[in-house]
A and B are shown apart, each in its own frame.
Chain A
Amino acid sequence: MIRIPCPNCGPRNVSEFRYGGEYNPRPADPTAVPESEWVRYHYFKNNTMGEQVEWWLHQSGCELWFLVERERRTNDIIKSYLWADGDSR
């Protein structure tokens, strides 16, 4: 089973977690961006065949939302960290 390193609890089985989708920051100034930008934000995905930063929730554990960098071809976890600790790309 794949193990996800929770920044709080350490590595746990993936079944304890919920995948929360690609890391996709909201447009910085919501009133300034055109509608097409919101459409992209809501629906379009990078769907990278490679490394991708993602949201995960430790649902059956400490209930923390955090970021995971994962290689999507192999499911290897590169690193995990709190959003506040990241460079908030």
Chain B
Amino acid sequence: MSLKLLRHGLSGRPPERMWHSRPLKDEYEVVIIGGGAHGLACAYYLATQHGITDVAVLDKSYIGAGGSGRNTAIIRSNYLTPEGTNFYNESVRLYENLSVELDFNVMFSQRGHLTLAHTDASVRTMRRRAEVNRLQGVDSSLIWPEEISRLCPQLDLSDHPRYPILGALYHPPGGIIRHDAVVWGYAHQADALGVHIHQHTEVTGIDLTNGEVAGVRTSRGVIRTGTVLNATAGWASTIASMVGLSLPMETFPLQACVTEPLKPFLNVVIVSGSLHAYISQSDRGELVMGASVDPFASYSMNSSLEFLEGIAGHVLELFPCLSNVRVLRQWGGLCEMPPDFSPLMGFTPIKGFLIDAGWGTYGFKASPICGKTMAELIASGSTPDLIKPFRLSRFDEHDLVGEKGAASVGH
């Protein structure tokens, strides 16, 4: 890498483009709607693992403009159900090797992840999560204030706050990553393997013939295809409605903010479910903070003062020392929440129309494994075991995967 850099620096030529704009063909084997980490990862694994390169990735904006560029970049696998834990753990394993695989530094920093418990009830949930996690081979344990103060002495561990810290679920492999780099890395490699990435190409309709997918209408023309993957995060219901399908989820905005950059101050990820807050320090020194979803459904990504007031109060309860730090930026993204806080992946009643949706507040951390399993599903025509629990038909079969306890706030 460094040699390449040196050669480029001396050659005076502009660096190669990471991916290219190509003409829209009128037919593709697979069309992926949504150029985020999920869609691009799926295209990448289709090309590398299954040799399918006649693939188009469409995005109505630039790639990574949706959830992939708006999340707070936390990676972890300490979920509540065995299905969820296994699935996210595979994702963490893929992330661990991603920089090497994509030949692009995604800056994955496994600095440790602490989920704080402020009540006896949440201590019990943490203990249950730790046991489930360990049974599935995930490094996760319940720790007490003494050890919390060793890992994060900046926290107010006294009994003065309204909700004193009683314990925490400690997950050493958890951490943060550069989310844009994940998108760019997948885009770069997928493009190099022959996948077409079409930015600013909005899907306006999906054509069906005899109830099967026949093509996709876009703002740049019509594409014939037999396989469409809907990987559009918060907007997946609108794409599904184009084939007359409704999905069991509702879209809520989720807001986040960053402070001005500080010197290195916080080297773990801190999450508090009871206080609806999570906080980490980025490599630039900014403190990245987020909360739970807004209290009502909406497709608006506007920022609100209510959110900022709430998050500031809660973070100051944890870290009173931050009272003079200023907020630099605030933004919103869209999260589609299924009733059981688990995703909707795989086949739908419409032949050729596949979904990778319902990604609520936990989608980014699952990107590599979603791409890999959905690519396998497309290539083989059958659902991989790892994502069978997340099939859409689970609602008709009354077989939900209740993940709310571990996914609603602790992103």
Contacts and interface: CB of A to CB of B under 8 A. Distances in A.
Contacts of B235: 49
Interface string A40-79: 1011111111001010000000000000000011110000
B300 A75 contact: yes
Interface stretch (B42-50, B86-94, B291-299): B291-299
- Among B298, B300, B305, B306, the one with the most A-chain Cβ atoms within 10 Å of its Cβ is B298
B238 A19 contact: no
Given A19-B297, A43-B395, A47-B250, A1 B238 contact: no
Contacts of A52: 297
Contacts of B295: 14, 18-19
13 contacts: A1-B306, A14-B295, A14-B296, A19-B296, A39-B396, A43-B248, A43-B338, A43-B395, A45-B248, A47-B237, A47-B247, A47-B249, A54-B297
A8 interface: no
A44 B247 contact: yes
Contacts of B323: none
Nearest to A19: B296
B191 interface: no
B251 interface: yes
Contact of B246 (A15, A46, A73): A46
B382 interface: no
A59 to B, nearest CB: 10
A36 B398 CA distance: 11
A1 B235 CA distance: 24
A3 B396 CA distance: 38
Interface residues of A, dominant DSSP: mixed
Which of A22, A45, A73, A74 has most B Cβ within 10 Å?
A: A45
B285 interface: no
Interface of B: 235, 237-238, 246-251, 295-300, 302, 304-306, 336, 338-339, 395-396
B266 to A, nearest CB: 30
Given A43-B248, A45-B248, A45-B250, A15 B395 contact: no
A45 B246 contact: yes
Nearest to B245: A44
A45 B300 contact: no
A49 to B, nearest CB: 5
Nearest to A15: B306
Contacts of B339: 42-43
A6 B378 CA distance: 49
Best-surrounded residue of B247, B295, B296, B396 (most CB of chain A within 10 A): B296
A21 B295 CA distance: 11
B298 A72 contact: yes
B353 to A, nearest CB: 16
- The 3 tightest CB contacts between A and B, nearest first, are A19-B296, A47-B237, A43-B248
A49 B299 contact: yes
A19 to B, nearest CB: 4
Contacts of A39: 395-396
B300 A22 contact: no
A39 B246 CA distance: 12
Nearest to B295: A19
A40 B392 CA distance: 12
B248 A44 contact: yes
B12 to A, nearest CB: 47
A25 B272 CA distance: 37
Given A45-B249, A49-B237, A36 B396 contact: yes
B306 A49 contact: no
